[in-house]
Amino acid sequence: MRGFETYNHLLELTGPAAIAQLFYAGMFLVVAAMVLLSLGRMRWLGRTLGILGVLAFMLALFLIHEQQAVEVKDDHVTVTHWRYSPAVRFQVRIALLGLPAADPVLYRSARNIDGVQVAPVAEFNTYDVLKQRYLILTREALAALKERVKTQPARRAVEA
């Protein structure tokens, strides 16, 4: 029971301001990593900052999803509810993971995560990409997607 109490205590420490600061820190770290990597300098530091930035984003999203508020109405009634609305909590969890080709092991691993859709980039369509809040691609998947877009036939002209 001690571990569960510690988990709940850690979740209650952060409020909306701390979550916003986590997002800002994550954004700063990712931008700094992009600058370092684009300049080709200190690649190890750029990669480390990028990983820390993504971890900051993930922690903030986890806190939004898991935080609960407790209201004591009187001596005998205590109400526990989610701190953030279901709409906000649902939006946090939507992601599309793009793969360069079908990978059954990764698909079976990621399909158990709520709100994550896994698909090869060959199966992407406009609706699937735009409805997701986050699009996660590997370098190989991005290259395959770019190649697919280049090879798409041009639309036919509409006759009047």
Start-to-end CA distance of the chain, whole Å, equals 73
Above 80 in pLDDT, residue 52?
A: yes
Unique residue bearing structure tokens 């600061």:
21
What one-letter code names the amino acid at 79? V
pLDDT value, residue 73: 76
pLDDT digits (tens, 9 = 90+) for 91-125: 555 777 787 887 777 777 777 776 777 888 888 87
- Number of helices (H) and strands (E), helices first, in the chain? 7, 5
Residue 149 or residue 39, greater confidence: 39
Q: What is the mean pLDDT of the chain?
A: 76
pLDDT digits (tens, 9 = 90+) for 6-48: 766 666 666 777 778 888 888 888 888 888 888 887 888 888 8
User: Cα(63)–Cα(59) distance, rounded to whole angstroms?
Assistant: 6
Choice among 1-10, 60-69, 114-123, 128-137 with the minimum mean pLDDT: 1-10
What one-letter code names the amino acid at 13? L
Token pair for 145: 């997607």
Q: What is the mean pLDDT of residues 138-148?
A: 83
Residue 1 or residue 130, greater confidence: 130
pLDDT value, residue 152: 63
User: Cα(108)–Cα(102) distance, rounded to whole angstroms?
Assistant: 11
Q: In this structure, how many other beta carbons lie within 10 angstroms of the beta carbon of residue 89?
A: 17
User: Cα(93)–Cα(115) distance, rounded to whole angstroms?
Assistant: 5
User: Cα(68)–Cα(9) distance, rounded to whole angstroms?
Assistant: 11
Above 80 in pLDDT, residue 88?
A: no
